[in-house]
Structure 1
Amino acid sequence: MTKSYDVVVIGAGPGGMTAALYASRANLSVAMIDRGIYGGQMNNTAEIENYPGFKSIMGPDLAQQMYDGSINFGAEYVYGAVEEIVDNGDTKTIKTDSEEIEAKVVIIGTGSEYKKLGVPGEKEYGGKGVSYCAVCDGAFFKNKDVVVVGGGDSAIEEGSYLSGIVNNVKVIHRRDTLRAQKIIQDRAFKNEKMDFVWNTNVVEVLGDGSKVTGVKVRNNQTNEESVVETSGVFIYVGLLPMTEPFKSLNITDVSGWIITNDKMETSVPGIYAIGDVRQKDLRQITTAVGEGGIAGQQAFKYVEALNSKTPVTD
Structure 2
Amino acid sequence: MSAINFTDVVFQAPRRVFSSIWDGLRGAITQTRLMHRVGKLIYRKFTRHTVRIQSHDTQFMRNPPLLDVLARLLFAYQIGSTVKLASIGCSTGAELYSALYVLRRARPDLRFLATGVDISSEVVKAAERGVYCPGQSAAIDGLYLEGRPEVFWEDINALQEVLEVQQGGTLRVRDWLRRDTTWLTADATETGFPDTLGLHNIVFANNVMGPMDDSLAEVCLRNVMNLVEPGGYLVVDDIDLELKTRVLAAADFKPILLSQEDVWMADGSKEGWPWVRWGREPLDLTEPTWELRYSIIFQRTRV
- Larger strand share, 1 or 2: 1
TM-score (norm 2): 0.30
The structure carrying a bigger helix percent of its residues is 2
TM-score using structure 1 length = 0.29
